[in-house]
Amino acid sequence: MIIFVGRSNVGKSTLIFRLTGKYVKRGKRPGITRKPIEIGWRGKTIVDMPGFGFMSGVPKYIQEKIKTEIVQFIENNADKIETAVLVIDGKSALEIIERWEKRGEIPIDVEFFQFLQELEIPIIVAVNKMDKIKNLNLTINRLIEKFGLLGTWEDYKDIFVPISAKFGTNIQELRKLIEKNIKKSQELHE
Ligand code: GDP
């Protein structure tokens, strides 16, 4: 099982479409079911988690409920999840993370990253919308620091991969990382 998590609007459904050719788009209207969507892909199950965090028109308590449901799904399926892909919007992620930090809160992306680490689920951070990022190295190095890791991108080439879901850039690299994690996870469970 491969899970995709991320805030709403980061380009998660565009990415899943790129990777699998399958359409997972949800209705934008609040109140519409926001359950995990499972699709089959090359003999695997891909799970598209509902987008978390702020969504215009969605009340705070619903956002919290979505977050709790995602956490529960991941906890319940931890031993089946071979890799998680955390999709972030490379253009706005740093700004949003810093805004949360200033309020003394743990940014939701950072929280999910650390949660997945605690469960020992291999993580890939897909830094999407790279077409809009000016200084890629600097951006990824800063993100690494925000995620609580020591070192630079050089040390985390297997975790942080810049992509453009919309334009199809670096999708092959991401696919390779996913396959690498699946292999590793299978070896561990043998
Ligand atoms: P989701 O809510 O995370 O599933 O996000 P969507 O896949 O619906 O994408 C949200 C918006 O971001 C759409 O307008 C996409 O066209 C746009 N988008 C997705 N990927 C990229 C990208 O790589 N670059 C740019 N510039 N826009 C993107």
Integer angstrom CA distances of residue 189 from 22, 110, 115, 177: 29, 27, 21, 19
Residues with Cβ within 8 Å of 83's Cβ and at least 6 positions away in sequence, in order, are 2, 3, 121, 122, 123, 124, 178, 181, 182, 185
User: Which atom from ligand 1 is nearest to the alpha carbon of 167?
Assistant: 23
Residue 145 confidence (pLDDT)? 97
Looking at this predicted complex, what is its ipTM?
0.99
Concatenate the DSSP letters of all residues of the chain into one string.
-EEEEEBTTSSHHHHHHHHHS---PPP-STTS----EEEEETTEEEEEPPPBS--TT--HHHHHHHHHHHHHHHHHHTTT--EEEEEEETTTHHHHHHHHHHTT---HHHHHHHHHHHTT--EEEEEE-GGG-S-HHHHHHHHHHHTT--S-GGGGTTTEEE-BTTTTBTHHHHHHHHHHHHHHHHHHT-
Chain centre to alpha carbon of residue 111: 12
Q: Is 53 in the pocket of ligand 1 (CB under 6 A)?
A: no
Q: Is 170 in the pocket of ligand 1 (CB under 6 A)?
A: no
Domain spans of the chain, in order of start? 2-188
Question: Which CATH entry fits the domain spanning 2-188: 3.40.50.300, 3.40.710.10, 3.40.30.10, 3.30.465.10?
Answer: 3.40.50.300
Q: Is 181 in the pocket of ligand 1 (CB under 6 A)?
A: no
Neighbours of 62 (CB within 10 A): 14
d(CA 66, CA 33): 10
User: Which atom from ligand 1 is nearest to the alpha carbon of 15?
Assistant: 7
Q: Structure tokens of 60?
A: 């705070």
pLDDT block averages, 10 residues each, the chain of length 190: 95 95 73 79 94 85 92 97 98 96 94 96 97 98 97 98 98 97 87
d(CA 185, CA 150): 24
Among 88, 82, 66, CA closest to 3: 82
Q: Is 133 in the pocket of ligand 1 (CB under 6 A)?
A: no
Residue 24 confidence (pLDDT)? 84
Residue 27 confidence (pLDDT)? 66
Mutate to test the pocket of ligand 1, among 14, 87, 112, 163 (most ligand atoms within 8 A of CB): 14
Residue 34 confidence (pLDDT)? 77
Residues with Cβ within 8 Å of 31's Cβ and at least 6 positions away in sequence, in order, are none
